[in-house]
Structure 1
Amino acid sequence: MNDIYPNHREVYLEAIDKALEKGLAAKEVVCSITTGFRDIPSIRTAPGLNPYHASVADIGYGFDSVRGTIMRIQQGESISLAKDMLVFELDTLRISEKQLNPNFELAITGAKPDTFYLIEQSRYLNRQIAESIKEAIRLGKAFLGPEWKIIRTRIQNIQATPRL
């Protein structure tokens, strides 16, 4: 990544990190709520609860992964495939985000009215997570320009493996 102007690089990397930081805060609350869902009888045995919980965890790992790559780049570590890693990690977050809502809706099917507040709060936080991921990807695309599509095409075969 040394071929990119340092100031240009730092601005974009910092912006991507900030976008993910917002999503990470929402993910932490969602994770607590989903853990609490296991104590609610009408949700505890819902067929989508485990996949939903796994999707939330997957997004958390993805946030950590992208932020770790950004930190390594900012600290000057020489990573031969840094751009590939960044595209792979951001695009993998996109895939994880697509799994979040369907798994959530499956998990809350049949929930009782006394859980509606938690469900609406979770929906709101899930939207925040999705928005932060989309913003980070938009910034990644702006950062790398046409190179984004070239790299993404190259990494798609790796992502074809089922992840959950």
Structure 2
Amino acid sequence: MAYTFNPHYFDQRDSYLDAIYAVLERGMAAKEVVCSITTGFRSIPSLRTKPGLNPYHASVADIGYGFDSVQGTIDRIRMGESFPLIYEMLVFELDTLRISEKQLSPNFELAVKEAGPEVYYLVEYSRILNKQIGEMIKEAIRLSQELLGNQWYEIHARIENIQAIPRL
């Protein structure tokens, strides 16, 4: 679908894309630390067999793939690549990140259930980082909403049905 943007959009587009990219970079840094901690949880006998550990690790990985995907789309837009659904891709990828972030908390709580005092600091640090990841995703979505204006909501309404299809 073709979109019409007011002339100042093109003047500010790159600034918004740069800001979204930078926010995702900060989120990616937090994700990298969380991923390392999560991997470390596997070496702790009391956590190794917790039912939420694998889904939590998978949720963290989903977020990493999501960050990469959004940044790839931003790179394509910056290089001037244009195809009919470029903005649908951006909205879809950012909203999928939002969904993946929502999976972190319940999976995390299952993974650290009955954690011993020797790992409380890792558990607390992970909670803080999970929150930071969520804040970065929300900020990236806010910036993309500013970038696209009301068209963000129109696009989102169309892609919601696609997101309902389970991923394998």
Give TM-score, length-normalised by structure 2: 0.94
Q: What is the CA–CA distance in structure 2 between the aligned matches of 1:128 and 1:155, rounded to whole Å?
A: 26
Cα distance in 1 for residues equivalent to 2:119 and 2:57 = 17
Partner of 2:90: 86
Percent pairwise identity: 68
Contact 1:73 1:79 in 2 (8 A): no
1:150 counterpart = 2:154: yes
What root-mean-square deviation, in Å, do the aligned CA atoms of Structure 1 and Structure 2 show?
A: 1.4
User: Which residues of 2 match residues 8-157 of structure 1 at below 5 A?
Assistant: 8-157=12-161
Post-superposition CA distance 1:37-91 (Å, at most 9, x none) = 1100010000000100000000000000000000110011122211100000000
Q: Which residue of 1 aligns with 2:164?
A: 160
Superposed CA deviations along residues 87-144 of structure 1, whole A, max 9, x for unmatched, are: 0000000000100111101110011110001101101110110000000001111111
Q: Which runs of 5+ in 2 are unaligned?
A: none
Q: TM-score, normalization: structure 1?
A: 0.96
Could you tell me how far 1:3 is from its partner in structure 2? 5.2
Instruction: Give secondary structure in 2 for the equivalent of 1:78.
Output: coil
